[in-house]
């Protein structure tokens, strides 16, 4: 008799403990951010745990690929000039969630996030031959990345080698139009150059690993101590641009009536041509000679890809170059690790002392629809009291 009752109590208390554990874990789960099944989740959700990576990404051009006023301006002009024909083309790369939801009018919040976390981390394959749809996407509960073997309370993880290769970036950073003209060639320039041969990928230069927390400590005490810089810097970063070109005056030769300056321009730090990217960018090499008598002489060399339209007119705006039939009439951009020797003649007599300066300048003057300042004086009152 005694024993039976004791047994019952034991069962009951075990049952109660069970309920307690269950409800505790249920309420814990409720507080966790929700990852969507079979579709894309907002960057804000990822950012609740991946706090540092979110901050880096949020300040990048990838996060602004739709809001970016330079893109917006070119897009509006291209849209107008082609009666909307270029819509899908432009939006695809700048708001890639549209590969999945076809929301080309940008009605959904997730589409407007541009090149968002969950787009990149749902990519499981890239097929360059399929130009209209190069990405294999598997959105949902598994997030792909470079590490593997990690446990997260809200999603599974899977390691894919693809994340550490240039192919991952290449499907967006290369565009050849239907006439076979390469308008955006960053990936193919890299592929043809010395960095690809040495196995140095886009990520090595644009997403270097640095100390940081992969997730905030209240989510998990992680063993991972390095994160990739998701701020991905390029032509909009002064530091990055300065790394690219080295300029060296090799020789200043004097003749009775003139002087000859030789300058070496080297693409020392860029993994692709300089300049690269959309066609309107150029590098200008300025060589100036200043005499002790106060004279200032200047010569220039310009490095760029020249696109010419049907009427023989050069396209200087990206919006024109991207959506009109064109041919490349010249391309003297500097290849990765290439050194270009340039010569300049200045007519200054031998007996005048001179200072020679050579400087490369990155020039990019994109169109931006001017913001109008609105300032309207509203109800006002004034009183003078003595
Ligand atoms: C343009 C694509 C892209 C976007 C956008 C992007 N990532 Fe990544 N992410 C990568 C790549 C590529 C790597 C691996 C780089 C490597 O290993 O060389 C990576 C690595 C990671 C890792 C592993 C740790 C690390 O840093 O190596 C985490 C976690 C991660 N990303 C989370 C995020 C989150 C969260 C966001 C949004 C706030 C985000 N990513 C946005 C491409 C992207
Ligand atoms: C509840 C917190 C939480 C949320 C929300 C979250 N993650 Fe994670 N994530 C983690 C944890 C924890 C890890 C593993 C970290 C470790 O073990 O070092 C992880 C790992 C990762 C990795 C690394 C995978 C690898 O093997 O390289 C990627 C990529 C990633 N998350 C992407 C995302 C993306 C994209 C989102 C938003 C759609 C997201 N995460 C939302 C907690 C979270
Ligand atoms: C889904 C398409 C897509 C993918 C994938 C992608 N990018 Fe981009 N990237 C873009 C677009 C679009 C922009 C331009 C955004 C804007 O300014 O409007 C951009 C901008 C950039 C810039 C320019 C930043 C600046 O300061 O000028 C760099 C650098 C860059 N991406 C590197 C990478 C690297 C490295 C990868 C691979 C890890 C990658 N991207 C993957 C579409 C993509
Ligand atoms: C050896 C390092 C290195 C490698 C590898 C590299 N880049 Fe760059 N990248 C740079 C530097 C430095 C700049 C800044 C100067 C410039 O604009 O070329 C830059 C600029 C850029 C820009 C901005 C162009 C502009 O003028 O705004 C984009 C986009 C870009 N890289 C994408 C890529 C992609 C995609 C890959 C891989 C296919 C890649 N890069 C490989 C170093 C590198
Ligand atoms: C194949 C993918 C792709 C397509 C298609 C595409 N873009 Fe882009 N776009 C990019 C990438 C990648 C960049 C990043 C910077 C670079 O390489 O110059 C970019 C950059 C830009 C920039 C410069 C942004 C800045 O801040 O400097 C403009 C403007 C632009 N694109 C307009 C357009 C327009 C308009 C269309 C449609 C006619 C279009 N793009 C179609 C991938 C694409």
Ligand at minimal distance from the CA of 64 is: 3
| Residue to substitute in 137, 230, 231, 271 for testing ligand 1 pocket (most ligand atoms within 8 angstroms of CB) | 230
Token duo for residue 80 = 């107008």
In ligand 4, the atom with minimum distance to the C-alpha of 189 is: 38
Question: For ligand 4, is residue 186 a contact (CB within 6 Å)?
Answer: yes
Distance from C-alpha of 344 to C-alpha of 342, rounded to nearest angstrom: 7
Which atom of ligand 1 is least distant from the CA of 56?
Answer: 38
Task: Report cis status (omega within 30 of 0) of the bond before 275.
Answer: yes
Q: Which residues of the chain have pLDDT under 70?
A: 1-30, 370-386
Ligand of minimum distance to the alpha carbon of 169: 3
Structure confidence at residue 379 (pLDDT) = 56
Q: In this predicted structure, what is the pLDDT of residue 187?
A: 98
Q: Which residues 6+ apart lie within 8 Å of 64 measured at CB? A: 114
Q: Whose CA is nearest to atom 20 of ligand 4?
A: 234
d(CA 163, CA 145): 6
Nearest-angstrom CA–CA distance, 55 and 303:
35
d(CA 96, CA 116): 8
Note whether 101 and 108 are within 8 A (CB).
yes
Verify whether ligand 5 is closer than 6 Å to residue 366 (CB atom).
yes
Give the pLDDT confidence score for residue 29 in this predicted structure. 46
Mutate which of 48, 115, 120 for ligand 1 pocket (most atoms within 8 A of beta carbon)? 120
């Amino acid at each position: 008799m005694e024993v039976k009752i004791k047994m019952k109590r034991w069962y009951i208390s075990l049952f109660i403990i069970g309920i307690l554990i269950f409800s505790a874990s249920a309420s814990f789960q409720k507080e966790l951010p929700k990852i969507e099944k079979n579709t894309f989740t907002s960057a804000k959700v990822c950012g609740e745990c991946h706090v540092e990576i979110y901050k880096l990404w949020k300040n990048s051009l990838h996060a602004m690929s739709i809001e970016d006023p330079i893109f917006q301006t070119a897009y509006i002009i291209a849209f107008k000039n082609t009666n909307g024909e270029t819509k899908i083309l432009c939006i695809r790369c700048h708001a890639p969630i549209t590969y999945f939801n076809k929301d080309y009018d940008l009605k959904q919040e997730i589409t407007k996030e541009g090149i968002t976390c969950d787009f990149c981390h749902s990519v499981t394959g890239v097929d360059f031959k399929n130009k209209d749809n190069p990405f294999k996407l598997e959105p949902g509960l598994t997030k792909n990345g470079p590490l593997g073997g990690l446990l997260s309370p809200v999603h599974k993880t899977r390691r894919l080698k693809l994340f550490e290769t240039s192919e991952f970036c290449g499907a967006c950073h290369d565009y050849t139009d239907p006439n076979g003209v390469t308008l955006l060639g960053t990936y193919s320039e890299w592929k043809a150059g010395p960095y690809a041969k040495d196995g140095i990928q886009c990520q090595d230069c644009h997403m270097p690993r640095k100390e940081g927390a992969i997730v905030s400590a209240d989510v998990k005490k992680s063993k991972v101590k390095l994160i990739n810089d998701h701020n991905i810097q390029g032509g909009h970063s002064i530091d990055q641009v300065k790394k690219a070109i080295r300029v060296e005056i090799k020789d200043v030769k004097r003749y009775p009536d003139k002087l000859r300056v030789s300058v070496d321009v080297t693409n020392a730090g860029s993994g692709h041509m300089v300049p690269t990217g959309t066609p309107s960018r150029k590098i200008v090499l300025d060589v100036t000679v200043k005499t002790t008598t106060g004279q200032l002489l200047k010569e220039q060399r310009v490095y760029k890809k020249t696109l010419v339209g049907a009427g023989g007119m050069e396209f200087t705006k990206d919006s024109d170059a991207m959506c009109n039939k064109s041919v490349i009439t010249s391309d003297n951009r500097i290849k990765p690790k290439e050194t270009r020797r340039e010569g300049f003649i200045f007519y200054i007599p031998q007996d005048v002392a001179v200072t020679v300066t050579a400087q490369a300048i990155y020039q990019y003057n994109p169109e931006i629809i001017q913001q109008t300042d609105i300032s309207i004086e509203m109800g006002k009152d004034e009183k003078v009291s003595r």
